Structures are given as structure tokens and as C-alpha cells.
Structure 1
Amino acid sequence: MKLTEVYYEMPVEVSPEQAWEVINRYGDVGDINGVLKSSKAVNGSANEGSLGADRMCVIPNGKKDILVWEKIIDFKEGSHLTYDVYQWENFPLNKMHNTFGVKVKGGKTYIYQRSKYRLKPGFLSGIMKGKLRGGAREALTGFKHFLETGQARVDPKVLKKQYRAV
């Protein structure tokens, strides 16, 4: 199955270790990032990311929230985690993998998100690419704001105005 890819990265004014500490808050990421309505570790998983860690997230989407269940399928401590979205409700998904990570470029710390997905029907994958790229930007902006200010769960619309150039 051919997957469409979206990639977004942004600089953060913290060390790579500090950035990873937040990116690796897998189960309770909804406590810090306002792009989610909520999140929780499930099936006995801890809040920290690790291979096989499982979570459920609620994403606000108008009248019907999107529900997703996700499991980490690739994990490199201090670098990245990749999860498979294995179950969903209220979104036309066929397959999705997301990677969140930290890297250093030119002496600066960057956080990034890479999404590979296919929607149902398949032609929606290209049509929705801009929306999914915007979602990646929103998620990273929420992390950036938390990392640099300590403020959690700020409305993504507020952050969009504040971080226009990022």
C-alpha cells in the first residue's frame, strides 16, 4: 500500500535532552499539548514511551471527536519514537504511522513529526495532505510552547498567531 508522507520540523530553544523528555511523554501528552482533547496510556503501558507502549487519544474535530489508538513500533531513546495508529473512529483512515523526534542541526535543537498515511478512499490522501501538515505544525507548536514557556494546553489557534513564522 502506497502511503503519503508529511514532514514538519521546527527549532526549539532547549537542549536535545529537554526536548526528548517532552516528546517522550507518550501516554499523557494530552496533559501538555492542547492539540489533543485528552490522552491516556492503555493496556498497562506507562506514560513514557517505549517499544510496544499503547495509548488512546481524543482529537477535537467539531461535533464528533476523532478517537485513535496507537502503539509504538520503533523507539530510539533520545532520538525518536514511531507509532502505528491501529484503531480509529470518526476519521477516514486506512493506515497511519507517525514519528516524533529530536535532532540537532547546525548546533540548534529541532523537534519533528513525520506522518505516513493512507485515507479511505485513497484519493483523499493527497487532498488532505495540507490539513495533515497543518496538524503536524499545530502539534509541534504545542510542544515548542510548552518547552520554552512551561505553559501547557494552550489553544492551538492562539499558538498559530503567536508562532506565525515558525
Structure 2
Amino acid sequence: MKKLVKINPRWLLLLVIMAVTQMSAQDIIDGEKMKFFENKVIVNNSPEEVWRILTAFGNVSSFHATIDDSFAINGSAEEAAVGSEREIQIPDGVNNIINKERIIHLIDGVYYTYEVYESENFPIKKMQVTFGLRRNFKGQTILYSKTYYKFNNAIASRLLKKKLNRANMDSLLAYKYFMENGEKNTEIKVLRKRYVESVKAGEDDDMISSISVN
């Protein structure tokens, strides 16, 4: 009779984490293998207020620092709903990145996911972005974003994946500042200095976090 081998619970947990990570790295959306990253921030406001602001979908540029312009298209309302569409313009040097986006999933008060179905001046082949909220074990409101993406080619992927991730984190910082202070369109450089440097200084280690699977 073979002797049973005991597995250390810590090793078992590590194996589970590795398995989940590997599966996530190979997620397939509409037949495409997609890479992803996830960012999150703590927001000092109620989940209800965070969700209310998050659902300002079509007119998000009215307060959001990282977007030059946005407007609802194809008869959509401004507020987020399944099927809502918008066009947004994101500053990127000489030419703005212009995306057309459509909400494909939404659970009220929890999250919504939109797809970028058309893009100009940025070599993205496919992208889906989820914004949502939850509470942590301390009862704080967490605003998070998870992005699945595939670039048009491998060179673009190597050169631009960090830029895409940073842009997503900047977006969360812009949401965070408006949700906490009500001040619109504060420059992103100011927000980076305010939040990111405070984390580096050890003032609030859990405020910002990032996960990337490449």
C-alpha cells in the first residue's frame, strides 16, 4: 500500500494561485487570447456615491482628468446601461486617441464592462475594460478596473503595454480624486504626485495596487 504524502497548506495555496494565474493569462474572448492587467484604489466615499459617479458614462469628460472629450453616440443616454455607446478622446501628444466604446455587461451597483469596438491612433486589436467596486475587509470602498487587451502586433505589445496600464491607473486616480473631493479635471500630474508618491513614502501602502499578466 502506497504511503500518503501530506502537502503543506502553504504549498497548496501557492499551486492554486499559480494555476489561476496561468488560466487568466490564457483567457479567450471571442476566439482571441487576451492579456490583462488589474488596478485598484481605495476611495473614501460610500459605494452608492462611487457607483453614481462611475455610471456617468457618456459625459465622463466633464470631470475626468484623463479624457479630453466624450459624448454619447448612436442614440445612447449619458448614463451607463447595457448597449450604451460613447466616443472618447484621450490626449496622446500630437493626435488624440479616439475610441468608440459599448457597454456589454452591467450589474447595477457592482460593475460594468465595455468593449472598444473602434479605435484611431492606437494599435489595439481588441480590448474590454471592467470598472467596478467592492468593500475590503476594513469596510473601505475599493474602485477597481480590469482590462483585457490584444495589440495589432507583437512590437506594439512590447512597447505599449506599460503605457496602457499606466493610463488605466491614471484613470482610477482621476475618478478617486473627483469622488473624494468633487474637484473636476485636476491635472493628472498633480494626482500622481498626490497619491503615488504618498504610497512610495509608506503613508498608505494599501491605497493603490496593480496586477499584470503578460
After TM superposition, the score normalised by the length of structure 1 is 0.96
Equivalent residue for 1:151? 183
- Using the alignment, how far apart are the partners of 2:117 and 2:57 within structure 1? 16
Aligned partner letter, 1:143: Y
Equivalent residue for 1:2? 33
- Using the alignment, how far apart are the partners of 1:158 and 1:129 within structure 2? 23
**Partner-residue secondary structure (3-state), 1:75:** strand
Pick aligned residue for 1:35 from 53, 61, 66 = 66
Runs of 4+ in 1 over 2 A off after TM superposition: 122-129
Structure 1 residue 124, shift from structure 2 partner: 2.8
1:53·1:71 contact (CA, 8 Å) conserved in 2? yes
Matched, 1:76 2:104: no
In structure 2, runs of 5+ residues without a counterpart are 1-31, 200-207, 209-214
Matched, 1:17 2:43: no
1:117·1:125 contact (CA, 8 Å) conserved in 2? no
Matched, 1:139 2:171: yes
Matched, 1:160 2:192: yes
1:6·1:129 contact (CA, 8 Å) conserved in 2? no
Equivalent residue for 1:95? 126
Aligned partner letter, 2:181: T
Matched, 1:105 2:136: yes
Once the two structures are overlaid, the 10-residue window that deviates more, 43-52 or 114-123, is 114-123
Q: What percent identity do the matched residue pairs reach?
A: 34
Structure 1 residue 125, shift from structure 2 partner: 2.5
Aligned partner letter, 1:44: G
Equivalent residue for 1:117? 149
CA-to-partner distance for each residue in 1:104-142, whole Å, 9 max, x for gaps?
Answer: 111110101111000111353344222122111100000
* Aligned length, in residue pairs: 166
**Partner-residue secondary structure (3-state), 1:86:** strand
**Counting strand residues as a fraction of each chain, which structure ranks higher?**
1
CA-to-partner distance for each residue in 1:52-95, whole Å, 9 max, x for gaps?
Answer: 00000000000011000000000111011100100111000100
Aligned partner letter, 1:4: K
Structure 1 residue 48, shift from structure 2 partner: 0.7
In structure 1, runs of 5+ residues without a counterpart are none
**Counting helix residues as a fraction of each chain, which structure ranks higher?**
2
Root-mean-square deviation (CA), in Å? 1.0
- Using the alignment, how far apart are the partners of 1:21 and 1:127 within structure 2? 35
